[in-house]
Amino acid sequence: MIGVGLLGLGTVGSGVHQILTNKRDYIKRKLGEEIIIQKILVKDVTKKRKYHVDNFLLTDKFEDVLKDSAIQVIVELIGGEEPSFSYIKEAIKRGKHIVTANKLIMAKHGEEIVRLAEENSVKVYYEGSVGGGIPIIKTLNESLVANKIERIYGILNGTTNYILTQMTEKKVDFKDALKEAQNLGYAESDPYFDVSGLDSAYKISILSSLSYETFVDVDSLYIEGIERIEPEDIEIADELGYVIKLLAIGKRLENDKLDIRVHPTFVPKNNPISRINGVYNVVQIHGDTVGEIMMYGQGAGEMPTASAVVADIIEVAKNIKYNISNGLINNLQPHTLVSIDEVENPFYIRLMVNDKPGVFAKIAKVLGDNNVSIASVIQKHRLTPVVPIFLRTHPVKEKYLNQAASELSMIDDVREIKNIIRVEEL
């Protein structure tokens, strides 16, 4: 019998409890061993729960879980940084294996946790932290282990993908799409973590750390959210053959520097990523031997995430049952991140300008003087004295584009630079 202590019985914790209870016999048959929840830590033991839970399992004291000698695996599903981080460390020091779905902790403290786990001969699994039900961590750790990973592209946040999908399909603006996502329970009342790109950044930092055998500090990444995307950007992207997605990118460059970032991106319509809509997540990976692979599925939610967490619990249980203590060696190497200034992309620029002769010539001169070469120009709606101009550039380093943008904003007839969005030719 393998004893489990659950920390948290919210959305994911309830799903895990449901699976381990309802599929107890099935899991026993598969594993040849029973997995039993011994204790569940919650904040409020008197709270009314969605599913039936035996009262004697509940506690609001972490020590009750920590000190229970029948518990070999602690499953952290509280979320946030504290007290979860301290609980995980204490549990490891007590010789408990860890399963968590906490992206924040793995992205910020993954290196320390993995080192501590190695020192204490226990395992840490975190499949639920990236991509909900998509088994991407196991794929990177096991199925693709013989590959040198060259690039990762991901839509790793369902909330923002839902909002962008609504803006694209229903032609609504950001605020309305966000409101709808909140009404449907796809977005939090405080949506900052999702719409700012931070959630995706935690996830791409975890995937990049694994893929590039290093520890990527999320605070060092370039992160841009979707708040500034307007229906006009989406409309013109469509005309040019692109869809706007909040793309998480993790690339190993030829000089072995890492290029890791999250931002709204023009994704070509002929790449399958452009067709991943709604709350779905996707990860596209390029490995040197396997080539391109892609996995997509529900990136969050009670049951998809619980599916990943329970798979991790079963993996730990298998290790315990067969006394497997050694895994792959975590030989983390230092890395150098390429500065965002040095990253080279084509760009899309949307400007509002006075509708006068000679204005475009001034814009073209500023761009040319800053090494920015124009690939295409669209001008529309000649109804008012101020008109929008849409430019697409050839690939150019971000620092040149930024300098050009700052000079463009000083031209009198340029009323406003509405948006600048990177184009990724995937």
Ligand X SMILES: NC(=O)c1ccc[n+]([C@@H]2O[C@H](COP(=O)([O-])OP(=O)(O)OC[C@H]3O[C@@H](n4cnc5c(N)ncnc54)[C@H](OP(=O)(O)O)[C@@H]3O)[C@@H](O)[C@H]2O)c1
The catalytic residues are: 203
Region from 78-86, 147-155, 183-191, 364-372 binding ligand X, contact rule CB under 6 A: 78-86
Of residues 42 through 71, those in contact with ligand X by CB under 6 A are 42-44, 47
Q: What is the dihedral of CA 176, 182, 185, 191, to 10 degrees?
A: 120
For ligand X, which is the closer residue by CB, 158 or 264? 158
Task: Say whether residue 102 binds ligand X (CB under 6 A).
Answer: yes
53, 75, 78, 310: which one contacts ligand X (CB under 6 A)? 78
Q: How many CA atoms lie within 13 A of 294 on its CB side?
A: 14
Nearest approach in angstroms of CB 20 to ligand X is 15
Near ligand X by CB under 6 A, which window of 97-105, 223-231, 332-340, 356-364? 97-105
Regarding beta strands 222-223 and 258-268, do their DSSP bridges make them parallel or antiparallel, or are they unpaired? Answer: parallel
Select the residue interacting with ligand X from 2, 3, 4, 9 (CB under 6 A): 9
Q: Does 132 bind ligand X (CB under 6 A)?
A: yes
Q: Return the residue of 3, 5, 128, 197 that touches ligand X, per CB under 6 A.
A: 128
Helix pair angle (231-240, 158-170), 10° resolution: 80
Contact between 106 and 129 (Cβ < 8 Å): yes
| DSSP string over 218-259 | GGGSEE--STT--HHHHHHHHHHTEEEEEEEEEEE-TTS-EE
Cβ atoms of 159 and 186 within 8 Å: the answer is yes
Q: In whole angstroms, how close is the CB of 46 to ligand X at the nearest point? A: 9
Segment 295 to 334, residues that bind ligand X, using CB under 6 A = 300-301, 305
Q: What track of x and - describes contact with ligand X for positions 374 through 413 (by CB under 6 A)?
A: ----------------------------------------
Count of residues binding ligand X (CB under 6 A)?
Answer: 23
Q: Which residue is nearest to ligand X (CB)?
A: 10
CB of 319 to ligand X, least distance (A): 22
CA dist list (Å): 196 to 11, 184, 207, 250, 368: 23, 20, 19, 18, 32
Q: Which of 101, 134, 372, 414 binds ligand X (CB under 6 A)?
A: 101
When the beta carbons of 77 and 276 are compared against ligand X, the nearer one is: 77
* Residues in Cβ contact with 219 at an 8 Å cutoff, skipping those fewer than 6 apart: none
Q: At what angle do helices 103-119 and 84-93 cross, to 10 degrees?
A: 20
d(C-alpha 239, C-alpha 271), whole Å: 16
Q: Which residues of this protein are in contact with ligand X, per CB under 6 A?
A: 8-13, 41-44, 47, 77-79, 83, 101-103, 128, 132, 300-301, 305
